[in-house]
Chain A
Amino acid sequence: MVVRTRRTMLAAAAAVLLAGGAARAAEEPITVGATVPTTGPLSLTGKLYFNTLTMAAEDINKAGGIKGRPVRLAIEDAGASNSTAVSAFVKLVQETKPPFAFLTSYSTQNLAVAPEVAKAAIPVMYAGGADAVAENGNSWMFRIRPTDSLAARAMVRFMTTQLKATKPGILYIQNDFGQGGAGVAARRLEEAGIKVVASEAYGQNDKDFSAQLLRLRSAGADVVLVFCYPADGALLLRQAKALGLKMPVVASSAAFVPAAMQLLSPADLDNVWGVVDAFVDPGAGGRMKDFADRYKAKFGTDADAYGLAYYDGAMLMAEGMRQVGTEPKALRDWLAGVKGWEGIGHAYTFDGKGNGVGDVAVVKAKPGTKALEAVTSVKLD
């Protein structure tokens, strides 16, 4: 009897301990990694998704987390170089062993980190636009923004069908993004039988674009397609107006993020169109308005397409974890099968290369203001 009582008590104690352990496991946070440029020149864009990833983690946790387990973000600074981005990712993997991670929105960094992602064997989402990132057969990588070629093709389509331009010039930042986008645009135009009258490049640190802009003008360009980053995009739009360039400009997404828009005057945006990843329009109502309003209340600035991509990505990741748990391979397989998942910015469908977005928006400032309005949406296969 004594023995039985003792055994019963031991069993009860073990059960309590196990139950406690299980409860603790259930409450244990799920660490999600993120490499974000928080210092250096890329931090201008990095800050945008630093904010929305933080916001998404809070929203996921407010909604009960992942089956009761809260999500904890482990963020490492990816800096402004490939080597820093690689080190940041390796450190994240070694120290926190996350089941999932976010990479930066810079293609060169994404390309550099890709081999480490394959070694770590965890699914990641990234927002670099270069097509090359998805061409290396790394099945762990999922893109949550339009590819650069998609944006370039949309620019060409808009330029030819809406603006009816026939003598395009191209101005691009000299890196993987700019060269890639300019190359695709030039090829598409050539296929359409349209000759590019001038193609001009500028360095990432350049501040004077007068030579390039004047060459485009003297070549007789009747439209300029611009592939730029935020601050240089704003600067070249201002310089184009200061130099008296009259032709329409169709610029890529980065020129229209709030950090760039606050540098421009309404006159700088006259005759300027933007081909943007997604149009963050609170006027659209519903989830878009809720997201935009809460972002502005929390961070004091307008939300943007880059941040929205990561917010959607985080929500998609949470959905996957709720469906199949946190085992990396199961999560990857689930993501690879996502079709038409309704985010706020897009309906996400991942193709065989991990590209999840197939549409972009064309926007323009309302006359005499800096308020953007949607012109059209371009969906391409």
Chain B
Amino acid sequence: MADLIQLLTNGLALGSVYALAAIGFVIVYSATGVVNFAAGQFVMLGTFAGVATLVNAGWPLPVGYAGALALMALFGLLFYAVVYLPLSKSPVVTIIIGTVAIGITLQNAALLTFGSWPFRLVSPVEGMMLEVAGAVIPLHAVAVVVATALLIGLLWLLLNRTALGIAMRAVAQDARTARLMGLRVNALLAFTWVLAALLAGIAGLMLGPMWFADVNMGDPIALKAFAATIIGGFGSLPGAIAGGLFVGLAEVLGASYVSSAYKDLIAFGAMILFLLVRPQGVFGERIQDRG
């Protein structure tokens, strides 16, 4: 029982991070129709923004976190202005390939800037453990799950209860009509990219103490977040959350109760199954619904 509690907590913490990365995918996809293949590198940059402020600059935790998130917001804005905007009139596939290229560039830029050695990012609750029914659970893992739940709640409020969020959804549904209605579509799209970068930044800052900050950490996150998005359904926030948690739990529980050698088969097998049987995922919209 103790082992199960421990595994469930670790799986949920891992799944929470995948869910945040998947939400980043979904927000950008919903608003722009672009699958951002640099999403994993966004998370990696979030972790390294924390390395820059907390480790290299040695700022205190609250200032360091705020600084890292400010850097990520700036990055989101730059990404919109330098990558998305110049390509926005191009076919979607061109933009998607652009995100792949930028992802590779970001990874190698991080390698040149920070070097190949991993960094250790300290958690605000470093070393603190909870004992639940004999299971020793790092407090950081619990904090990750709680923080993700809070963020998702805030995101729901933003998208459903604020004028800004409703405007964002309007742009996501039909940018042309939204423009005719007087909405500042470019500013809203820019905010979408900033929001995606911020979510990735938070995911990266939470991941840093769980993993090490490593310039190559983006690819595995992107793969798992992509699987989560497919399973949950492209374009669906609840889908991204459910998909992320499923992938995280499948990874940890699969390794424990099925086989550590084949654990990734469960998540990716499920992804392939969904692509074959229910391509819109659990919560995803059918293609004709968009039209």
Contact = CB atoms under 8 A, between A and B. Distances in A.
Contacts of A210: 6-7, 10, 252
Contacts of A208: 10, 14, 210, 251-252
Interface string A209-236: 0111011011000000000000100110
A98 B154 CA distance: 62
A47 interface: yes
A259 B118 contact: yes
B212 A231 contact: yes
Contacts of B7: 210-211, 214
Interface stretch (A35-43, A247-255, A319-327): A35-43
A162 interface: no
Interface in A331-349: none
Contact of A214 (B6, B111, B216, B217): B6
Interface stretch (B26-34, B66-74, B161-169, B255-263): B255-263
A262 B260 CA distance: 28
B238 interface: no
Majority-rule SS of B interface residues: helix
A68 interface: no
B10 A39 contact: no
A44 interface: yes
A44 B212 CA distance: 13
Contacts of A218: 3
Contact of B220 (A207, A244, A259, A262): A207
A44 B260 CA distance: 25
B54 to A, nearest CB: 15
A244 B260 CA distance: 20
A43 B117 CA distance: 9
Contacts of B211: 207, 235
A225 B118 CA distance: 24
A263 B120 contact: yes
A215 B260 contact: yes
A201 B216 contact: no
Contacts of A259: 116-118
A94 interface: no
Interface in B181-211: 210-211
A142 to B, nearest CB: 26
A202 B116 contact: no
A200 interface: yes
Nearest to A207: B211
Interface residues of B, number: 33
A39 B3 contact: no
A44 B116 contact: yes
Contacts of B14: 207-208
B16 to A, nearest CB: 12
A242 interface: yes
A205 B220 contact: yes
A365 B146 CA distance: 37
Given A210-B252, A214-B7, A200 B260 contact: yes
Contacts of B118: 44, 231, 234, 259, 263
Contact of B260 (A43, A211, A243, A263): A211
Contacts of B255: 200, 202, 211-212, 215
Given A43-B116, A208-B10, A231-B212, A201 B261 contact: yes
Contacts of B143: none
A174 interface: yes
A242 B138 contact: yes
A20 interface: no
A119 to B, nearest CB: 31
A296 B212 CA distance: 24
A244 B261 contact: no
A41 B118 CA distance: 10
Nearest to B4: A214
Contact of B219 (A202, A205, A235): A205
Interface string A40-57: 110110110000000000
A203 interface: yes
Interface string B261-291: 1011000000000000000000000000000
Given A211-B10, A259-B116, 15 more contacts: A39-B108, A41-B214, A41-B216, A44-B117, A200-B255, A202-B255, A207-B14, A210-B6, A210-B7, A211-B255, A211-B256, A215-B260, A231-B214, A234-B212, A263-B120
29 contacts: A39-B111, A41-B214, A43-B111, A43-B116, A44-B118, A46-B116, A47-B116, A201-B261, A205-B216, A205-B219, A207-B14, A207-B211, A208-B10, A208-B210, A208-B251, A210-B10, A211-B7, A211-B253, A211-B255, A211-B256, A212-B260, A214-B7, A214-B256, A217-B3, A234-B212, A235-B211, A242-B136, A242-B138, A259-B117
6 pairs of A and B residues whose beta carbons are closest in the complex:
A211-B255, A211-B256, A205-B220, A41-B216, A201-B261, A207-B211
